[in-house]
Amino acid sequence: MQAEKIDTLQLLKDLISIKSLSREEDKTAALIKSVFEQNGISCSQHGNNVWAINKHYDESKPTILLNSHHDTVKPNKGYTKNPYTPIIEDGKLYGLGSNDAGGALVSLITTFIHFYEEENLKYNLVMAATAEEEISGINGIESILDKLPKIDVAIVGEPTLMNLAVSEKGLLVVDGVAKGISGHAAREEGDNAIYKAMQDIDWIKNYKFDKVSETLGPMKMSVTIVNAGSQHNVVPDECTYTIDIRVTDAYSHEEVLDIIDKHTLADIAPRSVRLKSSSIAIDHPLVQAGLELGRETYGSPTLSDQSIIPVPSLKIGPGNSARSHTADEFIYIEELEEGVELYIKILEKVIR
């Protein structure tokens, strides 16, 4: 069940063949724009983000955003195939970005075109192919949110085996600076900042947050960087450390920061509070439509543009997250076909 006006597989092959690293997506943006235009669809572009609105848009109706990204990570050194040459072998399409998230992107574009000219839909549809997702960049979807129509809910295309990621962990990176007093290591001088940082790190390692998310489980904090000292015989007066925190929908970023601040000796500061946890209610029509089609729900530990989209969102798409960023990345042709079919079936249950 594919939209009549677009060769989904060929579009994905064309995207693979164009280098589109984060911040370098201009050529894939041009291709996506040309696909819309060739199908008689007016579209807009800001930076390397391209979006279009269904033909019979009605501002009195709620709007569903269909979103996926067309940037990729750099190919790793383990590739045995040319990452920019689309190759089909044994029912698999190989190529950088085929699985993350090219399969979801072309399936959503196909789905959008399928519904584009339909009248009397219960929801408007906006299709946005966006940039810089892989680096959570500020010139990706975040840069066009104020240019889109009012969005009520979003479908974010990422490889989920077409299961329903109804929640996603956010990311909070916090820097701590433990302050001491310098002195000579041979004498009882100074106040060692490393020891203060060690107390903090021990607390971070062992602390258990009270609230546990129903779909994402417990919160996770990890100290990933520590720096201190200039020479062996000087007691350091400063020790810095960095905490990687995977935030669930049980806590806001501000609540997490307050808890850490109350239990640590260091001065703490978040690098950013942009990347929020996200969720959608199980009883939302989109989720219920997916459940009726036999799909399973789960909480996703991986970050996507959901973290920036300020409305309820459902992450779903063809492909397997375990293949993302791996050498000789691929997607099964049948996964691509299933992606289009299920996207259309889910939306049919909601917007018609």
Q: Where are the domains of the chain?
A: 8-168+277-351, 170-270
Closest CA to 173 of 278, 253, 227: 253
Closest CA to 157 of 129, 134, 121, 135: 129
User: Contact at 8 Å (CB) between 351 and 123?
Assistant: yes
Tokens 């007066």 — which residue? 237
User: Contact at 8 Å (CB) between 304 and 173?
Assistant: no
pTM: 0.91
Q: Give pLDDT, residue 276.
A: 93
Closest CA to 153 of 51, 64, 59: 64
| Residues forming beta bridges with residue 235, ordered by sequence position | 183
> Which of helix, strand or coil describes residue 322?
helix
Q: Cα separation of 330 and 341, whole Å?
A: 20
Count other C-beta atoms under 10 Å from residue 175's C-beta: 15
Distance spanning both ends of the chain, measured CA to CA: 17
> Which of helix, strand or coil describes residue 268?
strand
User: Contact at 8 Å (CB) between 285 and 279?
Assistant: no
Q: Give pLDDT, residue 2.
A: 39
Tokens 């062992």 — which residue? 206
Rg (CA), the chain: 23
Count other C-beta atoms under 10 Å from residue 157's C-beta: 30
Q: Give pLDDT, residue 5.
A: 65
User: Contact at 8 Å (CB) between 178 and 197?
Assistant: yes
Angle at 41 between CA 70 and CA 105, to 5 degrees: 20
Which residues in the chain land under pLDDT 70? 1-5
User: Contact at 8 Å (CB) between 196 and 181?
Assistant: no
User: Does the N-terminal peptide bond of residue 101 adopt cis geometry, omega within 30 degrees of 0?
Assistant: yes
Closest CA to 164 of 215, 211, 99, 212: 215
Q: Cα separation of 281 and 262, whole Å?
A: 32
Architecture in CATH for domain 170-270: 2-Layer Sandwich (3.30)
Q: Cα separation of 342 and 181, whole Å?
A: 62
Q: Give pLDDT, residue 6.
A: 84
Q: Cα separation of 153 and 310, whole Å?
A: 9
CATH superfamily of 8-168+277-351: Zn peptidases (3.40.630.10)
Q: Give pLDDT, residue 187.
A: 87
